[in-house]
């Protein structure tokens, strides 16, 4: 196959997101809110629109629109499986990650006995903590915590051997932190859990906008993603290893299907969200075709090449941001700050500026039509460890591959201005 790829082109990439062209009172929008949810790719919108116009019907009927819905959901599951490195019967679409983890924690914990243990991580979003905590309380199970180091913002991998033992039933952790931005060595955690036969759950909701996922290479039992964090619609997309998906007794109404992929989706799913998710994944594949280093052949190769191209661009954004804030006074960055370690983090930056309230900082950004988050983003444990839970949290500035170096420079200039006032 001939190589027809191009160097990264901001203009072309941004044209693939209709929302990026919008203005408010003639001010362009600067979206630095990606960790809370990215903008939606045109390919996702096209699929969403087509599904709702062409086949807005429930599945399983004898007529044309219902049959098109059946075909759409089969295709969406196949594409989502390719995206995760899984098989179509290992993919569960749901409302969002939180509700999916409440659902699965209830099913999984049925087998837990008093005296059993689970390991949760202090670095997780509460969606990967609270459901397991509640289940542990109900079953009389001991909870152990995998802490993180507040200097390096890395997991305390050195404690794994003392946390995980023959009583451990489950180990839950995250691939990349939605607060600190750290990319974690989840394979190391999964391997330690598997050595004692414990189930493993990886929250990839934050990493999936930035890193290609390969569940088979990781070897986990469960892995969560939310398509609205990777250029698609509000939904949950969960990988469940076949053996586990088949073993679990579903929480479902009696007449509903007993087989995957619908066995673990209680009630009518959002068929349109499934189609739109397919479109979001096709966006990543398009990036690979267009900007990948080699001409990719299969859909999986296109997706992986798309992530590689996006990652190279995001690394440049990360380096520019870290180098830009390094000389500024009064900025406390909660995460890896060393430019030479930029590839060890995703472009999600939580910071405080002197005595300025995070909400006041976010409001000042908003006056320039620059969108940044403030608060703790349900990273309840992290905010507690860092002592910012009760004081407004932090300002979170986050980039995706549609952001530009010029946008980073605008944000750094504003931070510089605020930092001298703080």
Ligand X SMILES: Cc1ncc(COP(=O)(O)O)c(C=O)c1O
Q: Which residues are at the interface with ligand X (CB under 6 A)?
A: 96-98, 125, 127, 174, 178, 203, 205-206, 226, 236
- The DSSP H or E segment spanning 276 is helix 271-291
Separation CA 396–CA 348 (nearest Å): 7
Measure CA 256 to chain center: 29
How many degrees, rounded to 5, is the angle at CA 401 between CA 395 and CA 404? 75
Q: How far is the CB of 98 from ligand X (least distance, A)?
A: 3
Block residue for tokens 């569940």: 215
CB 318 within 8 A of CB 336: no
Q: How far is the CB of 205 from ligand X (least distance, A)?
A: 4
3-state secondary structure of 403: coil
- CA-wise closest residue to 294 among 304, 281, 284: 304
Nearest residue (CB) to ligand X, 127 versus 304: 127
Nearest residue (CB) to ligand X, 171 versus 305: 171
The number of beta carbons lying within 10 Å of the beta carbon of residue 149 is 12
Block residue for tokens 């952001």: 403
The number of beta carbons lying within 10 Å of the beta carbon of residue 213 is 23
Nearest residue (CB) to ligand X, 10 versus 147: 147
- CA-wise closest residue to 119 among 215, 207, 189, 222: 189
Q: How far is the CB of 178 from ligand X (least distance, A)?
A: 4
- CA-wise closest residue to 271 among 84, 99, 74: 74
* Alpha-carbon Rg for the chain in angstroms: 22
Nearest residue (CB) to ligand X, 98 versus 265: 98
Nearest residue (CB) to ligand X, 97 versus 404: 97
Nearest residue (CB) to ligand X, 182 versus 206: 206
Separation CA 11–CA 290 (nearest Å): 13
Nearest residue (CB) to ligand X, 127 versus 344: 127
CB 327 within 8 A of CB 415: no
Q: How far is the CB of 153 from ligand X (least distance, A)?
A: 15
- Separation in Å, CA 419 to CA 192, 233, 328, 348, 356: 43, 36, 7, 19, 9
Nearest residue (CB) to ligand X, 127 versus 284: 127
Q: How far is the CB of 44 from ligand X (least distance, A)?
A: 16
Q: How far is the CB of 4 from ligand X (least distance, A)?
A: 36
DSSP one-letter code for 39: P
Nearest residue (CB) to ligand X, 97 versus 403: 97
Q: How far is the CB of 223 from ligand X (least distance, A)?
A: 11
Nearest residue (CB) to ligand X, 222 versus 418: 222
Nearest residue (CB) to ligand X, 221 versus 364: 221
Range 44-83 burial, b when 16+ CB lie within 10 A, else e? bbebbebbeeebebebeeeeeeeebbbebbeebbbbbbbb
- CA-wise closest residue to 198 among 228, 234, 222: 222
Q: How far is the CB of 421 from ligand X (least distance, A)?
A: 30
- The DSSP H or E segment spanning 348 is strand 348-353
Q: How far is the CB of 196 from ligand X (least distance, A)?
A: 25
3-state secondary structure of 16: coil
Q: How far is the CB of 234 from ligand X (least distance, A)?
A: 7
- CA-wise closest residue to 107 among 202, 222, 236, 218: 222
């Amino acid at each position: 196959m001939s190589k027809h790829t191009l160097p990264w082109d901001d203009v072309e990439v941004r044209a693939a997101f209709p929302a990026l062209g919008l203005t408010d009172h003639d001010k362009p929008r600067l979206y630095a809110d990606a960790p809370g949810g990215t903008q939606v790719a045109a390919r996702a919108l096209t699929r969403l629109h087509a599904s709702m116009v062409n086949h807005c019907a429930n599945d399983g009927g004898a007529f044309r629109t219902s049959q098109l819905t059946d075909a759409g959901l089969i295709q969406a599951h196949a594409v989502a499986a390719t995206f995760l490195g899984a098989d179509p019967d290992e993919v569960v679409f749901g409302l969002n990650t939180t509700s999916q983890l409440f659902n699965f924690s209830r099913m999984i914990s049925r087998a837990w006995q008093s005296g059993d243990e689970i390991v949760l991580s202090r670095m997780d979003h509460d969606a990967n903590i609270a459901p397991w905590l509640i289940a542990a309380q109900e079953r009389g199970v001991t909870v152990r915590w995998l802490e993180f180091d507040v200097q390096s913002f890395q997991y305390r991998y050195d404690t794994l051997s003392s946390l995980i033992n023959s009583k451990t039933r489950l180990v839950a952790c995250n691939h990349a932190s939605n607060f600190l931005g750290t990319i974690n060595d989840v394979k190391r955690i999964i391997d330690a859990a598997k050595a004692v036969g414990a189930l493993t759950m990886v929250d990839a909701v934050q990493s999936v906008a930035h890193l290609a996922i390969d569940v088979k290479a990781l070897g986990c039992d469960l892995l969560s993603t939310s398509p609205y964090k990777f250029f698609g619609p509000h939904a949950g997309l969960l990988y469940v290893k076949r053996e586990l998906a088949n073993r679990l007794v579903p929480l479902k109404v009696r007449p509903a299907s007993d087989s995957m992929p619908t066995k673990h989706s209680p009630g009518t799913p959002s068929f349109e969200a499934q189609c739109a998710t397919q479109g979001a994944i096709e966006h990543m594949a398009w990036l690979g075709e267009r900007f990948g280093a080699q001409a990719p052949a299969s859909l999986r190769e296109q997706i992986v090449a798309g992530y590689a191209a996006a990652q190279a661009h995001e690394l440049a954004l990360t380096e520019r941001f870290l180098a830009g804030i390094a000389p500024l006074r009064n900025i406390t960055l909660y995460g890896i700050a060393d430019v030479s370690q930029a590839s060890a983090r995703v472009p999600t930056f939580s910071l405080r500026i002197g005595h300025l309230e995070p909400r006041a900082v976010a409001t000042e950004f908003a006056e320039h039509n620059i969108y940044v988050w403030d608060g703790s983003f349900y990273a309840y444990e992290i905010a507690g460890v860092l002592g910012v839970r009760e004081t407004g949290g932090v300002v979170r500035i986050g980039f995706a591959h549609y952001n530009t170096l010029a946008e980073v420079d605008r944000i750094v200039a504003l931070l510089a201005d605020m930092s001298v006032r703080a």
